[in-house]
Structure 1
Amino acid sequence: MKYSDLADKNSAELNVMLKEKKTQLFTLKIKQKMMQLNNTSELRVAKKDIAKINTALNAVAN
């Protein structure tokens, strides 16, 4: 996901995407704790996506 993809979305769409990514991050963390996560880089990607969405939300709010 790139920031340029998020820049043209409104705050409602961004909030929905943020909720989905946080749920995904939660499930990835659970899988990691239970030793079922094969690709641990997915955690880092999910965290970065959440940060990009938060940045886009702050840009829309201002």
Structure 2
Amino acid sequence: MNYSDLKDKSSKELTDLLKEKKVLLFELKAKLKTMQLTNTSELRVAKKEIARIQTAITAVKA
């Protein structure tokens, strides 16, 4: 997911997407703690997607 994909979305869509990604990050962290996560780079990708979404939300508010 690129920033250019996000900047066309509305504020409501972005907040919904942010909630989904935060839930995904929580699930990934739980899998990591229980040794069920095999690809740990998914954590990094999820965090970066959350940061991109938050940046887009800030840009919409400004």
**Alignment correspondent of 1:26:** 26
Among the aligned pairs, what percent are the same residue? 66
Offset at 1:25? 0.0
**Alignment correspondent of 2:13:** 13
Q: Which amino acid aligns with 1:58?
A: T
TM-score (norm 1): 0.99
Offset at 1:46? 0.1
Distance in 2, Cα, partners of 1:35 & 1:49 = 23
TM-score (norm 2): 0.99
**Alignment correspondent of 1:39:** 39
Structure 1: segments with no counterpart, 5+ residues: none
Q: Which amino acid aligns with 1:50?
A: I
Structure 2: segments with no counterpart, 5+ residues: none
Runs of 4+ in 1 over 6 A off after TM superposition: none
